[in-house]
């Protein structure tokens, strides 16, 4: 289907495009900008007046508990590719499971599913899963989700093995022992409210371990959901050393701190925890400087598991449909331009994945998000397509709403 | 942020924590408790204030002592008292905390006394009651995790006021496992709100929360230094069940450094009082000679506790 | 009893003089050795006066009815309650309950209920300075010195001046 998207502000951060122009799609790919390609006849035109036309968002972390609802939620949020952690039930440690997941995603035909394979069997952190087989079945990298690998020897061997094949390992840096009893950031708020704390050391010790093993193995590692200033500083040092380490930041950690726990609000329980204002500031600076991609860490949790005393509530928040407005909210407060903000959720994640997506150059897959940057809407359970209605922003007004989403040149969402 | 303990007229409708309560409310509770002390001294120890009302003791954590004092207090107010010991297995069978509350509200509960192992549980209940429009049902926190034990904090203040009269000149030391202690947190907030100029925390690094100074507390690791010239010593129980991991080598070593012996007590003012929320571990945090000695006011604390709980329940139930 | 008077048209009577009048009424009835119980705060002050004027040896009882009021559900607990102190055995005693103003009768009812929680008195008499009518319960003063009608929204309050003298004032509700 030939599609022309007209009158929109086309922003393609990777290729430095930011202007009002027409975008042409043919055969599921971007066919050009501005002037119609030779012989192009539009079969469908989309009017993007007052809207931004950008690459479909790439979310580096989204749990798809009920896959249909969550993939619908993804495209409603302008997300065209989701990276899925391997910690579903059962964990994604067999090639057949990955196969099925990718196949199901294709069948549903909304956002693209990019699964992370389990690094170890059952995510137990002991025996390697069949990494090559999982890769063949569609896994983009390997991960322990947010579980720590306690056995450092096992981690070393896993990284050696992955390095052999050039596979990337995604790890959440959180030391098992220092975090196992904690439910909140070890700081002023946890002291005052009597909440067992997780010190920053839980993150920095884990980063230190991983960085040393990267040094020894050359394995490419992506650290997920950093939460502390000290953690960011350590990763930056490793990067300066030339080590193949990248990191991402959950969008909620850019906007919220331990203070948002308020009167024990279970919606403010995250893993890793929301930390102090100084940590938030460092994360924001890193994202502003383009040092990290931003993701949603989408975690749908039912009311029965969330409306519990703080320490019993499952951590995490719904994210796919708020990634865009929350990123825009952060960008405005941090003085980051719209193209740079969009880069953090399009081209930057694509770079982490080593994929050619996240951009609108000619020949790129036509994964496109058309959104109204000025549209104000209220976050209510009814407004969300996701089964996860859990959010600290419930009831708040958000700015920025997706109008149309295309994947491979097909409209998969229309507001 | 709106304080969920106060109604729109700024009056106490739930007692969840001492933190955030203005001094006038603490003083009102203490003054009311004084009247209830008199009731407890009569033969007929009852007043009809809560007649026809149902008080549900919802204890998710075992505590015979605290539950008994709340039961006595509620009965002295002529309330009907129902005791529910909810152990983890029955909630594991599927009924969430809020489902339990909904069921009990449907059984015409007027006041919940809640003890829970998770910090913040009573707030969840209070917020839920507000959400379902039941501002006629009240919550009194009987201890939530490490966070707060406000009635204990209040009865500790009543005790101090009874023996020392004036808060504005006192030095008060709290000794022991403050990290895990909801009593300590409530005491600290109450003492600072009532204008005690010097609040001290004494204990080893592993048992003191970080950032204690932000709560207005002076930290001491040396008990001999910390007890100098104090007027009130509040000893905390060394809580075995709350400690996980390598926090302390042994009870013996703890007693040597942080146990209250007659010699250490002598460093405080000669008329200093010794308090303890109970139950005591003799020989671990407190020497028997001190526990049974003339400066200990541990048994009067228990009596004051009934009057304070009567005061709290009658104040919230009327708002 | 003195005739009804309208306080808006002339100055309020001398409360101290009224205490003396009340004492004169009670003095002939002291054979059964009654104990005085004053209701906070006005009744307590008057009871103190009566004790001096009647030269009674015993400490007076002081009663706070906050815990026995019938309006707890609407108004909640009164923010200032003082401890009730009954320093004698109520069982079998003749009591004189003392209050400043008798109005609906509910305070008297609450005080009687409270006294019965201390024991079974032989009798209770009620002594008041002012009876403003408006009874909502079948309560009557045994001893009274002033019947008075108040206007709409007016309240009669007994206060203690700086020099310790009791004095009436009118307040608007």
Contact between B46 and C117 using a beta-carbon 8 Å cutoff: yes
Contact between B48 and C113 using a beta-carbon 8 Å cutoff: yes
Taking the Cβ of residue A194 and every Cβ of chain B, the question of whether any pair is shorter than 8 Å is answered with: yes
pLDDT exceeds 90 at position A58: yes
Q: Model confidence at C1, in pLDDT bands (50, 70, 90)?
A: very low
Question: Residue B42: its pLDDT value, please?
Answer: 86
Q: Please report the residues numbered 85 through 104 in chain B whose beta carbons come closer than 8 angstroms to any beta carbon of chain A.
A: 96-98
Question: Residue B91: its pLDDT value, please?
Answer: 54
Contact between B49 and C67 using a beta-carbon 8 Å cutoff: yes
Taking the Cβ of residue B2 and every Cβ of chain A, the question of whether any pair is shorter than 8 Å is answered with: no
Percent of all residues in chain C with a pLDDT value above 90, rounded to a whole number: 78
Question: Residue C11: its pLDDT value, please?
Answer: 82
How many CB pairs (< 8 A) connect A and B? 75
Contact between A194 and B146 using a beta-carbon 8 Å cutoff: yes
CA atoms within 13 A on the CB side of B54: 12
Average pLDDT score, chain B: 92
Q: Model confidence at B89, in pLDDT bands (50, 70, 90)?
A: very low
Question: Residue B289: its pLDDT value, please?
Answer: 95
Cβ count within 10 A of residue B71: 19
Which residue of A264, A278, A303, A304 to mutate against B (max B Cβ within 10 Å)?
A264
* Among candidate residues B44, B17, B272, B240, the one with its CA nearest the CA of residue B121: B17
Question: Residue B90: its pLDDT value, please?
Answer: 53
Interstrand relation of B80-85 and B54-59 (parallel, antiparallel or unpaired): parallel
Taking the Cβ of residue B177 and every Cβ of chain A, the question of whether any pair is shorter than 8 Å is answered with: no
Taking the Cβ of residue A311 and every Cβ of chain B, the question of whether any pair is shorter than 8 Å is answered with: yes
SS3 C26: helix
Tokens 């906050």 label which residue? Answer: C66
For residue range B215-257, list pLDDT tens digits in order: 899 999 999 999 999 999 999 998 765 455 677 777 788 889 9
For residue range C89-102, list pLDDT tens digits in order: 999 999 999 999 99
Average pLDDT value for residue range C143-147: 95
Which chain B residues touch A307 with a CB distance below 8 Å? 96, 98, 124, 128
Question: Residue C9: its pLDDT value, please?
Answer: 46
Q: ipTM, 2 decimals?
A: 0.89
Contact between A188 and B119 using a beta-carbon 8 Å cutoff: no
pLDDT exceeds 60 at position C3: no
Query: Rounded CA gap, B22 and B190, in Å?
Result: 10
- Is residue A27 flagged as an active site residue? no
Percent of all residues in chain C with a pLDDT value above 70, rounded to a whole number: 94
Average pLDDT value for residue range A30-54: 94
What are the residues facing B85 on neighbouring strands?
B59
Which residue of B15, B120, B203, B208 to mutate against A (max A Cβ within 10 Å)?
B120
For residue range B168-201, list pLDDT tens digits in order: 999 999 999 999 999 999 999 999 999 999 999 9
Which chain A residues touch B185 with a CB distance below 8 Å? 192, 194
Contact between A309 and B120 using a beta-carbon 8 Å cutoff: yes
Taking the Cβ of residue B127 and every Cβ of chain A, the question of whether any pair is shorter than 8 Å is answered with: yes
Interstrand relation of B218-220 and B198-202 (parallel, antiparallel or unpaired): parallel
Burial (CB count within 10 angstroms: exposed 0-12, middle 13-18, buried 19+), residue B138? buried
Better pLDDT: A155 or B85 = A155
A87-96, A139-148, B82-91, C120-129: the lowest-pLDDT one: B82-91
Which residue of A176, A179, A192, A306 to mutate against B (max B Cβ within 10 Å)?
A192
Which chain C residues touch B40 with a CB distance below 8 Å? none
Percent of all residues in chain A with a pLDDT value above 70, rounded to a whole number: 100
* Among candidate residues A375, A409, A405, the one with its CA nearest the CA of residue A73: A405
* Among candidate residues C73, A270, A266, A395, the one with its CA nearest the CA of residue B128: A266
Contact between B185 and A192 using a beta-carbon 8 Å cutoff: yes
Contact between B314 and C67 using a beta-carbon 8 Å cutoff: yes
* Among candidate residues A66, A8, A51, the one with its CA nearest the CA of residue A302: A66
For residue range A289-320, list pLDDT tens digits in order: 999 999 999 999 999 999 999 999 999 999 99
CA atoms within 13 A on the CB side of C92: 1
Cβ count within 10 A of residue C16: 12
Taking the Cβ of residue B20 and every Cβ of chain A, the question of whether any pair is shorter than 8 Å is answered with: no
A89-98, A199-208, A346-355, B93-102: the lowest-pLDDT one: B93-102
Closest CB to B38 among C75, C83, C119: C83
Burial (CB count within 10 angstroms: exposed 0-12, middle 13-18, buried 19+), residue A395? exposed
Does an interface of 3+ CB pairs under 8 Å exist between A and C? no
Closest CB to B42 among C64, C75, C117: C117
Which chain B residues touch A188 with a CB distance below 8 Å? 211, 214
Average pLDDT value for residue range B135-154: 96
A92, A99 in Cβ contact below 8 A? no
Question: Residue C6: its pLDDT value, please?
Answer: 53
For residue range B114-143, list pLDDT tens digits in order: 999 999 999 999 999 999 999 999 999 999
Which residue of B102, B118, B181, B216 to mutate against A (max A Cβ within 10 Å)?
B118
Which chain A residues touch B211 with a CB distance below 8 Å? 187-188, 191-192
- The two structure tokens encoding residue B144: 């939530």
Query: Rounded CA gap, A345 and A298, in Å?
Result: 14
Average pLDDT value for residue range A9-32: 96
Closest CB to B98 among A186, A307, A311: A307
CA distance C77 to chain B (A): 6
Q: Per-domain residue ranges for chain C?
A: 2-172
For residue range C20-71, list pLDDT tens digits in order: 999 999 999 999 999 999 999 899 999 999 999 999 999 999 999 989 988 8
SS3 assignment for A67-122: HHHHHHHHHHCCEEEEEECCCCCCCCCCHHHHHHHHHHHHHHCCCEEEEEEECEHH
| Phi, psi of A79, rounded to the nearest 5 degrees | -90, 120
Closest CB to B35 among C72, C82, C117: C82
Burial (CB count within 10 angstroms: exposed 0-12, middle 13-18, buried 19+), residue A76? buried
Chain C residue with the nearest C-alpha to that of B48: C68
| Phi, psi of A89, rounded to the nearest 5 degrees | -115, 110
Contact between C83 and B43 using a beta-carbon 8 Å cutoff: no
Average pLDDT value for residue range B209-215: 89
Hey, what CATH class is C2-172 in? alpha beta
Contact between A312 and B118 using a beta-carbon 8 Å cutoff: yes
* Structural domains of chain B, with CATH: 23-148+303-318 (3.40.50.1370), 150-301 (3.40.50.1370)
* Partner chains of C (3+ C-beta pairs under 8 Å): B
Closest CB to A262 among B1, B119, B128: B1
CA angle C61, C65, C66 (to 5 degrees): 135
C-alpha Rg value of chain C to the nearest Å: 16
For residue range A363-401, list pLDDT tens digits in order: 999 999 999 999 999 999 999 999 999 999 999 999 999
Tokens 């990123």 label which residue? Answer: A327
Torsion of CA B227, B230, B231, B233, to 10 degrees: -30
* Partner chains of A (3+ C-beta pairs under 8 Å): B
C166, C160 in Cβ contact below 8 A? yes
Closest CB to B318 among C76, C118, C119: C76
CA atoms within 13 A on the CB side of A313: 32
Contact between C119 and B43 using a beta-carbon 8 Å cutoff: yes
C-alpha Rg value of chain A to the nearest Å: 21
Contact between C67 and B47 using a beta-carbon 8 Å cutoff: yes
pLDDT exceeds 70 at position C140: yes
Among A12, A59, A175, A297, which one carries the catalytic annotation?
A297
CA angle C131, C132, C135 (to 5 degrees): 90
SS3 A373: strand
Average pLDDT value for residue range A218-241: 98
- Sheet hosting strand B218-220, strand order edge to edge: B218-220, B198-202, B171-175, B232-235, B273-275
Cβ count within 10 A of residue A355: 16
For residue range A198-219, list pLDDT tens digits in order: 999 999 999 999 999 999 999 9
């Amino acid at each position: 289907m030939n599609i022309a998207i007209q009158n929109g502000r086309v922003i393609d951060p990777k290729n430095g495009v930011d202007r009002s122009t027409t975008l042409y799609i043919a055969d599921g790919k971007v066919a050009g900008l501005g002037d119609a390609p030779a012989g192009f006849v539009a079969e469908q035109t989309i009017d993007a007046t007052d809207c931004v036309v950008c690459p479909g968002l790439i979310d580096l972390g989204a749990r798809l508990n009920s896959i249909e609802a969550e993939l619908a939620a993804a495209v409603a949020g302008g997300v065209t590719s989701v990276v899925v952690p391997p910690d579903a039930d059962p964990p994604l440690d067999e090639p057949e499971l990955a196969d099925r997941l990718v196949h199901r995603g294709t069948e549903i035909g909304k956002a693209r599913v990019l699964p992370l394979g389990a690094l170890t069997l059952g995510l137990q952190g002991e025996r390697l899963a069949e990494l090559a087989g999982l890769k063949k079945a569609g896994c983009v990298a390997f991960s322990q989700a947010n579980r720590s690998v306690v056995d450092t020897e096992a981690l070393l061997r896993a990284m050696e093995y992955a390095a052999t094949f050039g596979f990337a390992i995604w790890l959440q840096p959180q030391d098992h022992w220092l975090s196992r009893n904690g439910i909140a950031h070890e700081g002023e708020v946890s002291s005052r409210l009597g909440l067992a704390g997780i010190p920053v050391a839980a993150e920095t010790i884990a980063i230190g371990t991983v960085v040393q093993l990267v040094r020894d193995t050359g394995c490419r590692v992506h650290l997920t959901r950093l939460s502390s200033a000290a953690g960011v500083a350590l990763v930056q040092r490793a990067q300066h050393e030339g080590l193949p380490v990248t990191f991402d930041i959950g969008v909620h950690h850019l906007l919220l701190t331990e203070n948002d726990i308020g009167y024990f609000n279970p919606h403010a329980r995250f893993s890793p925890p929301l930390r102090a204002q100084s940590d938030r500031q460092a994360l924001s600076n890193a994202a502003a400087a383009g040092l990290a991609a931003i993701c949603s860490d989408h975690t749908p949790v039912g009311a029965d598991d969330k409306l519990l005393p703080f320490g019993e509530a499952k951590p995490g928040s719904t994210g796919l449909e708020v990634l865009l407005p929350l990123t825009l909210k952060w960008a405005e407060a941090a003085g980051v331009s719209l193209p740079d903000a969009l880069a953090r959720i399009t081209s930057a994640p694509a770079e982490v994945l080593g994929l050619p997506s996240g951009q609108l150059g000619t020949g790129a897959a036509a994964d496109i998000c058309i959104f109204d940057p000025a549209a104000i809407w209220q976050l209510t359970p009814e407004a969300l397509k996701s089964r996860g209605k859990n959010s600290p922003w419930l009831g708040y007004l958000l700015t920025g709403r997706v109008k149309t989403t295309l994947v491979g040149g097909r409209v998969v969402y229309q507001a | 942020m709106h304080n969920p303990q106060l109604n729109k007229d700024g009056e106490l409708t739930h007692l969840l924590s001492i933190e955030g309560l203005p001094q006038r409310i603490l003083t009102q509770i203490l003054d009311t408790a004084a009247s209830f002390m008199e009731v407890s001294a009569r033969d007929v120890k009852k007043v009809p204030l809560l007649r026809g009302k149902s008080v549900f003791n919802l204890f998710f954590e075992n505590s015979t002592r605290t539950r008994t004092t709340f039961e006595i207090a509620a009965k002295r107010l002529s309330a009907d008292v129902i005791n529910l010991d909810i152990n983890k297995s029955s909630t594991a069978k599927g009924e969430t905390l809020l489902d339990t509350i909904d069921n009990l509200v449907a059984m015409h509960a007027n006041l919940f006394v809640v003890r829970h192992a998770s910090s913040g549980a009573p707030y969840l209940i209070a917020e839920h009651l507000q959400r379902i429009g039941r501002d006629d049902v009240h919550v009194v926190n009987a201890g939530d995790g490490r966070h707060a034990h406000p009635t204990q904090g209040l009865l500790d203040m009543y005790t101090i006021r009874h023996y020392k009269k004036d808060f504005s000149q006192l030095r008060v030391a709290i000794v022991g496992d403050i990290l895990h202690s909801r009593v300590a947190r409530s005491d600290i907030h109450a003492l600072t709100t009532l204008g005690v100029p010097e609040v001290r925390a004494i204990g080893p690094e592993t048992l003191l929360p970080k950032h204690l100074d932000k709560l207005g507390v002076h930290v001491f690791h040396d008990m001999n230094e910390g007890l100098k010239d104090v007027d009130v010593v509040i000893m905390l129980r060394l809580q075995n069940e709350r400690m996980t991991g390598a926090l302390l080598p042994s009870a013996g070593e703890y007693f040597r450094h942080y146990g209250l012996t007659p010699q250490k007590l002598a460093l405080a003012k000669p008329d200093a009082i010794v308090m303890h929320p109970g139950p005591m571990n003799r020989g671990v945090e407190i020497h028997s000679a001190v526990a049974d000695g003339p400066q200990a006011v541990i048994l009067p604390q228990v009596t004051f506790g009934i009057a304070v709980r009567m005061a709290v329940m009658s104040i919230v139930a009327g708002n | 009893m003195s005739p009804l008077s309208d306080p808006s048209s002339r100055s309020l009577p001398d409360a101290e003089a009224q205490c003396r009048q009340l004492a004169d009424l009670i003095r002939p009835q002291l054979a059964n050795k009654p104990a005085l119980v004053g209701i906070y705060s006005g009744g307590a002050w008057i009871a103190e006066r009566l004790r001096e004027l009647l030269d009674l040896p015993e400490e007076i009882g002081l009663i706070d009815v906050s815990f026995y009021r019938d309006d707890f559900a609407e108004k909640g607990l009164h923010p200032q309650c003082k401890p009730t102190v009954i320093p004698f055995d109520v069982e079998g005693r003749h009591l004189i309950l003392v209050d400043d103003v008798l109005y609906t009768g509910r305070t008297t009812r609450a005080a009687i209920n409270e006294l019965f929680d201390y024991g079974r008195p032989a009798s209770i008499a009620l002594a008041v300075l002012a009876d403003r009518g408006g009874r909502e319960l079948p309560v009557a003063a045994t001893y009274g010195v002033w019947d008075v009608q108040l206007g709409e929204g007016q309240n009669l309050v007994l206060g203690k001046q700086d020099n310790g003298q009791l004095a009436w004032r009118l307040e608007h509700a």
